[in-house]
Structure 1
Amino acid sequence: MQTDPWREKLTDEEYRVTRLSGTERPFTGELLHESRDGLYLCKCCGAELFSSLTKFDAGCGWPSFYAQTNSNNVGYRFDESHGMRRTEIFCKPCNAHLGHVFEDGPAPTGQRYCVNSVSLTFKIENADG
């Protein structure tokens, strides 16, 4: 019997959200109030996804960004789960579920990437360059 390598790498909650398209409870995420300069990477594969420069407080209970840092790393697919019509966002390199994107964000993009904290790793930017 083969074991799932993601089960070995991730906590139960990280696995449920990233591999099974779950959602963490609102206002519980470790990165919701993160305010330092840095990059937000995929928890599963380390792909660069978002920058602190595009993070904003949407008041929705999850970290929110108005733009991605690398369009090659964030993919989109239609999601009709839970009786809603939404656009799911996922990590293109490893197919990890990240959250959803909505068209109610701030300028300049008008986008709100609503992301589960447990699907992200935060990397502080080096102040020395």
Structure 2
Amino acid sequence: MAPAKGEVEVDGTTVRITKADCLRLVKHRSDPGVTYQPGVDVDGDPVASADLHDRPKIELPERVSIPIEVDLGDRYGLPADDSFKGDVQVGTVEVDLETGRATFNGQPLTSDDEAKLRARCQRVLSDDE
């Protein structure tokens, strides 16, 4: 059986991908010419800057880690109660924010893996979940 819309198979295990996961993994690439350019309007004419006050610069990490979890309770139909937490971490996706390259448990995602992940994320992001 093929994985559902928000799922992808990794090493024989079906993993659920949330909209938040996809937003972290899929970098938006805007069309040329639509990227914000300070000091000019949409026609290229000069305008006053929208920045009224200096703000502190936020330092981003070089890499972001995303835990990948499987809900065993959901997967195996176990009843939910306070004594059992069904989420089990099966791995970690790390994303290099500069290059956009991702690894799963330290192994580079191959172009086939990336294509599968992007395709699933496109399906996840196409609906408001």
Larger radius of gyration: 2
More strand as a share of residues:
1
**TM-score, normalised to structure 2's length?**
0.26
